[in-house]
Amino acid sequence: MFCSTAQLHFSQLRNRDDLLYFVSGPYQAVTPLSLLLVQICFSGRHLFMGYLGDPVRTSRAIDNQGWLHTGDIGHLDENGFLYVTGRTCEVIMLRGGESVLPLPIESRILAALPFLSHVVVVGDGKPYLSCLMTLSCVMDRVTGGPTDQLSPLARRWMESLGSYSTTVSGVIAGRDKTVFTAITDSLHRANTVAPTNDHKIQKWTLLDRDFSIPGGELGPTLKVRRFVVHKKYATTIETLYRT
């Protein structure tokens, strides 16, 4: 079942061109799709009729054939299961024209390195992908901002690797060899399963502060606000492409 605020219903899948289309009705077997950047769309009586008194916004959401464009990107696996892998607004367009979804790459890195709290893949208009990383740290209970102290989870994982750093500044300023090696090795493993060379991370950097709501990098639901991160760390990002 796929659900959004514009529809609540069991849906059947079919595909056409570069979109995944859903129509209401009983489930039927579907032909698997390859891993492509395809947008998920819906059609049926279970959809909303549009935005009241706002035809312009309605036309942006529902095309002239009655399909609701969700803005979600997904693919079907070999068993016909749907995976939502990102949003159309998150797609990175490299200088060579390759389209890359950052979320699957970020999730793979975070799963391999639990002492990280956030990973943001960047590279829009650039020749290759890079990423910004933040270490998991203790948050100030009064301000809600990040402190310099590593979180207990981060410290345990670092200790298991042989590192005894206790602060973010200690890891970065001292270029903790154990931590930096672990990150480099994990990125290498992530790159080995990348579908193309354009999906590989070429450079990375650790930021000296974790993301937070007061800092503006996180929204109220703790989702990363990519446009804020790109603007706030523009100089850092450019450095990754100058060296």
What's the distance, CA 17 to chain centroid?
Answer: 24
Rounded average pLDDT over 119-131: 95
129-173 pLDDT per residue, tens: 999 999 999 999 999 999 999 999 999 999 999 999 999 999 999
Q: φ and ψ at 121, to 5 degrees? A: -80, 135
CA distances from 157 to 66, 92, 114, 164, 204 (A): 51, 31, 7, 10, 20
- pLDDT band of residue 11 (cuts 50, 70, 90) is low
Statement: 3-89 belongs to CATH 3.50.30.40: no
Interval 80-119: pLDDT, tens: 777 777 777 788 989 988 888 898 899 889 989 999 999 9
Q: What is the pLDDT of residue 227?
A: 93
For 225-241, the pLDDT digits (tens) are 999 999 999 999 999 99
- Calculate mean pLDDT across residues 18-36: 40
Q: Where are the domains of the chain?
A: 3-89, 92-240
Residue whose token pair is 């310099």 = 148
pTM for this entry:
0.75
| Per CATH, domain 92-240 is 3.10.450.40 | no
Report in angstroms the alpha-carbon separations of 85 from 1, 18, 74, 122. Answer: 15, 15, 5, 17
